[in-house]
Chains A and B, each alone.
Chain A
Amino acid sequence: MSYGSTIKVPFGPQHPALKEPEHFLFEVDGDTVVSVKPRIGYVYRGMEKAFELRTYHQNMYLAERICGICSHAHTTCYAQAVEELLGSEIPPRAKYIRVIIAELERLHSHSLWVGIAAHEVGFDTLFMYVWRDREAVMDLLEAISGNRVNYAMNTIGGVRRDLNDEAVQKIRGVLDRFEKNVKGYSEIIGKEQTFVKRTRGVGVLKPRDAVSLCAVGPTLRASGIKSDVRLDDPYAAYDEIPFNVITDDGCDVFGRTVVRCGEMLESINIIRHALDHMPGGKLKVSVSRTVPPNETVSRVEAPRGELMHYAKSNGTTKPERYRVRSPTLANLAAVCQTLVGVHLADIPIILAGIDPCFSCMDRLAFVDRRGGAWSCTAEELGGGRGQ
């Protein structure tokens, strides 16, 4: 159905479907999207510059606050980068604790996503139930670390808190209940025809496109590509823990839901294995405050996909340059491609399908300098220091 003329429908920066401010301009012909123009940068926070102004230990607090959901993934990535620069190895027990917290974080991040996906297609009951059960994991993290969101478990050279027997018992109890619930919800999602109708065949991302547009995480795995940093480039204790990488051949939003539900169950198994095989010993090694000149890239599988940190040191107590590439940025090109040709009503669920975290993503605010070019020189940006 074509009406010959198109109208422009703005999505954001304020829109109920987007939990964070970001703008998408849709050109719509009748009910069909013709083109999408994303405009990012609304939540630019100057994080990377702030990294350069603080010492390595102070930066731990900053890395914790890059994201409000996957804070542990960011600190793990940061700590790994600095440990690599220092050339220090963390104790085995610390590695296991990092894995346990990371997987608990994946549990609460994925269940948050399942709730949001249900809400986007109007299935509010599932949303309420999933988020109710997510609270158990949040409370567990609070019991372990003292905080629901910014756990502050990592430090450079290890972890800050131990898991005692009481905490281990608590984790096992919560996991048993959570596993039962997740299995129930996966069954509902597969059976409930209204949900299936709204998600199956919606937002199709072909495997070839997924690879060429550099999609990451569950978005990539739902297109049938087996790619997971935990398997491809094991960090922490992932090389010692057996686990499956969940993939789905659906290539659509339904596939992304199936992958995330499967990953939750897999995370539960990983945590159980880690609890069973956790070695004793020290929690951290002491490290020097100054870092020798070097540069490194550190990768972590955050709940949303591959997270990448780049660090360059110059022999002082502060980094020379720090760069964070969050999974949402990697998925943005892919999601914009899938949005072309869909119904207007499917936009929210497709956008939400990549589990966007726009605040983590925004790095640089583009300023429209009237008449000027849309590029800046390194001198203008970094005062002549960086490349």
Chain B
Amino acid sequence: MIAYDIFQMLVFPGILFLFCLAFLYEWIDRKLFARVQSRYGPLYTGPSGILQPLADFIKLLAKEDIVPAACDRHLFMWVPIIYAVLPLTALFIIPVAAQTGLVAFEGDLIFLVFLFALTTIVVFLAGWSSMNRFSIIGGVRSALQMLGFEIPLGLAIIGMAIAAQSLSISEIVRWQSGNWWGIWLQPIGFAVIMICILAELEYVPFDIPEAETEIVAGWQTEFGGRRLALFRLGKDLETVLVSALVAALYLGGPQQLGFLPPVAGFLIKSVAVLALLSFARALFARFRIDQMVSGMWTYLLPLAILQIVLIQFGIGR
């Protein structure tokens, strides 16, 4: 039994499976994004370039490791590792292969919101520790951006918890299997959470903290080699995390679809969310940080509150 637990932790649906998913999702995202832009995207490594994210990762691992003289050494070393580990930790509590996550307890939804906030703080620290003008501006922008999207994101997540009468993600997934999916019950909440995770992932129109033409690579500017590889892995895992979260909260999570196992249901749903994200990020120009924050507070927050009020009146539960 312990052997099976370890297998679950390390291989399926644990670390190895999630790493593979991370690279696969990056490829899907890049390919779709490229096709929307009338490009080919990754093409040569593996069939249709499917191994390109892995190849990029390995190449970055082999690169020279440069630590700027002026940076805060300890923070600079630890930040990439923490950034990669945080979404991995969060993925353990999200149901992937069955209706229960690897780790499930009452209140894990709150833990997840905490991890999201922690990710942004790590990003801020990454910018701060580099002691580079562009990095610091990027870090500050990322913290400012969090002020904009975190409250609507929290409200959108809580909406489903109120409906399912539980603060456990696994419980919300189970509740949906006997009920309508969250997307039909709370469409406003779904729209709000999609916009918020665009901001969480720093995708266009919210790629303000790493705006290439303005501040080079933003908070990532000074990171290279294996540190950058870890950041990229962390970003991919975060992509898996948010698409899995939306699939779990609003699309019913891993369910038996006909003869397909629950994990297939999970893959189909989360890839659908991912496709929506890739499509959305090809359609816009980048907002300025002040436009982003004020837009979030004037439009998105009232919408999120409206959804909660509707639930209180018994609509959408």
Contacts and interface: CB of A to CB of B under 8 A. Distances in A.
Nearest to A11: B214
B214 A125 contact: no
A120 B204 CA distance: 12
A197 interface: yes
A192 interface: yes
Contact of B285 (A17, A31, A132, A194): A194
A132 B40 CA distance: 13
Given A9-B133, A122-B204, A124-B204, A16 B216 contact: yes
Contact of A348 (B214, B283, B289): B214
B282 interface: yes
A201 to B, nearest CB: 12
A326 to B, nearest CB: 23
Contacts of A124: 37, 204, 282
Contact of A129 (B37, B214, B288, B291): B37
Interface string A186-200: 000000101101100
If over half of A's interface residues share one DSSP class (helix, strand or loop), that class is named, otherwise mixed; here it is helix
A194 B216 contact: no
Interface in B275-294: 282-291
A128 interface: yes
Nearest to A116: B213
A16 B213 contact: yes
A344 B214 contact: yes
Given A122-B204, A128-B37, A132-B38, A15 B216 contact: yes
Contacts of A16: 212-213, 216
A198 B37 contact: no
A118 B207 CA distance: 15
Interface size class, chain B = 20 to 34
Contacts of B214: 17, 344-345, 347-348
Interface in B32-67: 36-39
B37 A125 contact: yes
A194 B213 contact: no
Given A122-B205, A122-B207, A348 B213 contact: yes
Interface in A17-33: 17, 31
A345 B213 CA distance: 9
Given A16-B216, A132-B38, A192 B133 contact: no
Given A122-B207, A122-B213, A344-B137, A198 B36 contact: no
B35 to A, nearest CB: 11
Interface in A316-359: 343-348
B290 A194 contact: no
Contact of B38 (A15, A128, A348): A128
B287 A194 contact: yes
Interface string A98-131: 0000000000000000000011111111001100
Contacts of A125: 36-37, 282-283
Tell me if B's interface is mostly helix, strand, loop or mixed: loop
B211 interface: yes
Nearest to B287: A194
A192 B284 contact: yes
Nearest to B206: A122
B15 to A, nearest CB: 33
B38 A122 contact: no
A124 to B, nearest CB: 7
Contacts of A17: 213-214
A7 interface: yes
Interface string B202-230: 00110110011110100000000000000
Most chain-B Cβ atoms within 10 A of its Cβ — which of A119, A192, A344? A344
B213 A120 contact: yes
Contacts of A10: 133
A270 B53 CA distance: 48
A194 B284 contact: yes
Interface of A: 7, 9-10, 15-17, 31, 118-125, 128-129, 132, 192, 194-195, 197-198, 343-348
Lowest 3 CB-CB distances: which A-B pairs, in order? A122-B286, A123-B285, A194-B285
Given A123-B286, A192-B284, A347-B214, 18 more contacts: A16-B213, A16-B216, A17-B213, A31-B289, A118-B285, A121-B213, A121-B285, A122-B212, A122-B285, A124-B37, A124-B282, A128-B38, A192-B285, A197-B291, A198-B287, A344-B214, A348-B213, A348-B214
28 contacts: A9-B133, A16-B213, A16-B216, A121-B213, A121-B285, A122-B204, A122-B205, A122-B211, A122-B213, A122-B284, A122-B285, A123-B285, A123-B286, A124-B282, A125-B37, A125-B282, A192-B285, A194-B205, A194-B284, A197-B285, A197-B291, A198-B285, A198-B287, A344-B137, A345-B288, A345-B289, A347-B214, A348-B213
